Amino acid sequence: MSNYTQLNPHDHHQHTQATVLCCNCGVPMDGSTGLVMCYDCIKLTVDITEGIPREANLSFCRNCERFLQPPGQWIRAALESRELLALCLRRLKGLNKVRLIDAAFIWTEPHSRRIKVKLTVQGEALTNTIIQQSFEVEYVVVAMQCADCAKSYTTNTWRAAVQIRQKVQHKRTFLYLEQLILKYNAHIDTISIKENKDGLDFYYAQKNHAAKMIDFLNSVVPIKSKKSEELISSDIHSGTSQYKFSFSIEIVPICKDDLVVLPKKLAKSMGDMAQFVLCSKITNTLQFIDPSTLKIGDLSASVYWRTPFLALSDVTQLTEFIVLDVEPTGERRGRWLLADITVARAADMGVNDKEYYVRSHLGGILHPGDSAMGYYLANSNFNSELYDALDTNNLPDVMLVKKHYARSNKRIKNRQWKLKRMANEHKDLVAEEIVDSRQARQEAERAERDYELFLQELEEDPELRQTVNLYKSDAPRQYNNDDIEEMGDDDEEDDDAPQIDIDELLDELDEMNLGE
């Protein structure tokens, strides 16, 4: 029996694919597509980006640091941000003729006033032929002035003002508040900032911008606010009126390290604390510590203003003591260690043998031979009804506040870090109000002394440093000779002050924007 294989008649003809040669490079290619050039040659000879400019302009206001989004909107956009990339793409004509695949910034030096963007697009080069190409676009940043900033240089243009005041003898709180404002850009919407003898004034074009500043202040310092308004104009036909709003902000007149006597009822409501305490921390609340027991109590701003009280003494009245002996009790709370400490006034050393025995919260950082700053209460008289009501027989003769570090002149003059200060439109009204040049010089010296004390506090308190931005210093700060003589000994060997690690410092170039 024979075996037969049935064949498909269609198998008699083997189909072979027709090929043609590229008219440009001669590479074999599929002839069924109807093309006469290969894909690579099409990419080289056909430009689908024709009509899309390689250069464009971006308008930038150096004062408020905003970019113009035509026709008249000004927006905030950081370098290499999504917002800035979207603005660059909108400014590019002819981009709608192709399909955008990818867009990314190419790094340029911040001062160059140039922004480069690499684009990848797809488009139809020939019939039924889609190709992909990449190209770069360079944007020139053109500096100009927006309408809002132009108004700020004319008089009577503000519609809301925030006046911040604190009734104390130093500016430490305002120096700290200034750093918080700069860190979080809370002054972004201001059209003018003026410095007053007792505080700062912020001016705004809109009421809601002033309300944002008040919300920020409420979140960082204990305040109370009062609102007032003034009618500017009124249209009886349309029923519209124009007002100017003023917000008066008063910061609690108590600062860190102040000596305080709490009202008796308030002390009991704070966990039965002692009335004679130190202010240990200022945020949007007040924190007090009893150095003899390590009890800590918090007081909100609203409760304080119901029963306000003043500090007995502030840091300008501290006295230097020499630590003779430290005996820890073993009781600890956070970074504080309770200890019995024997001290003597630095001014009494070599004069008499008067010693004082103090129970303090500084047992963890003080050692025999160290210097400490504290309040000398043995011969002090205070004009305070709360203090007069206390049993003075049970009050300590000395209350230690913090460790004292010796700083050499070289350390002070050559700090490797610095702080940013408020905007250039800061206007020093203190010097303008004082006619007497001698008094003006004294005010300037006091402001310089307050600033140096604030810098020293940042060096000594790591927790405080975390709340502000510190920057690498390009050049040392300049001091008057009189200031340097008051600030410390010239002996570099006695310099035991803590230093700020370079890892904690920011580089201004990293945060630099086009307006700087």
pLDDT tens readout for residues 145-197 = 887 777 666 655 788 999 999 888 878 888 899 899 988 888 888 888 887 77
Nearest Cα to Cα of residue 487 among 404, 430, 431: 404
pLDDT score at 128: 67
- What pairs with residue 336 in β-bridges? 333
CA 456 vs. chain centroid, Å, equals 19
Read off the pLDDT band of 434 (50, 70, 90): very low
CB 297 within 8 A of CB 271: yes
Provide the sign of the torsion angle of the four alpha carbons 37, 43, 49, 53, taken in this order.
Answer: negative
pLDDT score at 330: 87
Give the burial class of 71: count Cβ atoms within 10 A of its Cβ; 0-12 exposed, 13-18 middle, 19 or more buried.
exposed
- Work out the number of other CB atoms within 10 angstroms of the CB of residue 486: 12
Cα angle 423, 471, 219; round to 5: 60
CA distances from 266 to 111, 334, 379, 386 (A): 56, 24, 27, 12
Question: Among the ranges 12-26, 376-390, 492-506, which has the highest mean pLDDT value?
Answer: 376-390
Q: Is the pLDDT of residue 276 over 80?
A: yes
Report how far residue 70's alpha carbon sits from residue 58's, in angstroms, rounded to the nearest whole number.
10
Summarised one tens digit per residue, pLDDT across range 279-288 is 999 999 999 9
Nearest Cα to Cα of residue 421 among 174, 191, 77, 62: 174
Report how far residue 286's alpha carbon sits from residue 222's, in angstroms, rounded to the nearest whole number.
7
Nearest Cα to Cα of residue 225 among 173, 287, 161, 285: 161
Q: Is the pLDDT of residue 413 over 50?
A: yes
pLDDT score at 12: 44
* Strand bridging mode 160-165 / 240-251: parallel
pLDDT score at 210: 92
Nearest Cα to Cα of residue 92 among 68, 66, 58: 58
Q: Is the pLDDT of residue 223 over 90?
A: yes
Nearest Cα to Cα of residue 195 among 174, 220, 223, 224: 174
- What pairs with residue 28 in β-bridges? 21
How does DSSP assign 128-174, residue by residue?
Answer: TEEEEEEEEEEEEEEEE--HHHHHHTSSS--SEEEEEE--SSS-HHH
Average pLDDT over residues 295-318: 92
Share above pLDDT 90 across residues of the chain, in percent, rounded to a whole number: 30
Report how far residue 67's alpha carbon sits from residue 140's, in angstroms, rounded to the nearest whole number.
12
pLDDT score at 436: 56
- What pairs with residue 123 in β-bridges? 131
Residues in the chain: 516
Tokens of 122: 């797809």
Packing angle between helix 172-183 and helix 437-460, nearest 10 degrees? 60
Report how far residue 345's alpha carbon sits from residue 339's, in angstroms, rounded to the nearest whole number.
18
Residue bearing the bigger pLDDT, 441 or 14: 441
Whole-number average pLDDT of the chain: 81
Report how far residue 231's alpha carbon sits from residue 151's, in angstroms, rounded to the nearest whole number.
20
349's torsion region: left (phi>0), alpha (psi -120 to 50) or beta?
Answer: beta
Nearest Cα to Cα of residue 497 among 505, 488, 484, 486: 488
Q: Is the pLDDT of residue 337 over 70?
A: yes
Share above pLDDT 70 across residues of the chain, in percent, rounded to a whole number: 84
**β strands within 252-307, DSSP E:** 259-261, 276-282, 285-290, 295-300
- What pairs with residue 274 in β-bridges? none
Which residue has 């007002």 as its token pair?
243
Question: Among the ranges 107-111, 152-156, 203-207, 258-262, which has the highest mean pLDDT value?
Answer: 258-262
Nearest Cα to Cα of residue 58 among 14, 117, 98: 117
Summarised one tens digit per residue, pLDDT across range 460-499 is 888 888 889 888 886 545 445 555 454 444 444 456 778 8
pLDDT score at 515: 41
Q: What is the DSSP letter of 329?
A: E
Tokens of 37: 């050039």
Average pLDDT over residues 258-262: 94
Nearest Cα to Cα of residue 496 among 329, 306, 364, 367: 367
Read off the pLDDT band of 6 (50, 70, 90): very low
Q: Is the pLDDT of residue 110 over 80?
A: no
Average pLDDT over residues 346-360: 89
Read off the pLDDT band of 1 (50, 70, 90): very low
Q: Is the pLDDT of residue 315 over 80?
A: yes
Q: What are phi and psi of 10, to 5 degrees?
A: -75, -20
Residue bearing the bigger pLDDT, 80 or 163: 163
Q: Where are the domains of the chain?
A: 18-42, 48-147, 258-403
Helix (H) or strand (E) run with residue 412 in it: helix 409-413
Read off the pLDDT band of 510 (50, 70, 90): low
pLDDT score at 218: 93
Q: Which residues contact 45 (CB under 8 A, 6 or more apart)?
A: 24, 37
pLDDT score at 475: 53
| pTM higher than the cut 0.75 | no
pLDDT score at 431: 38
259's torsion region: left (phi>0), alpha (psi -120 to 50) or beta?
Answer: beta
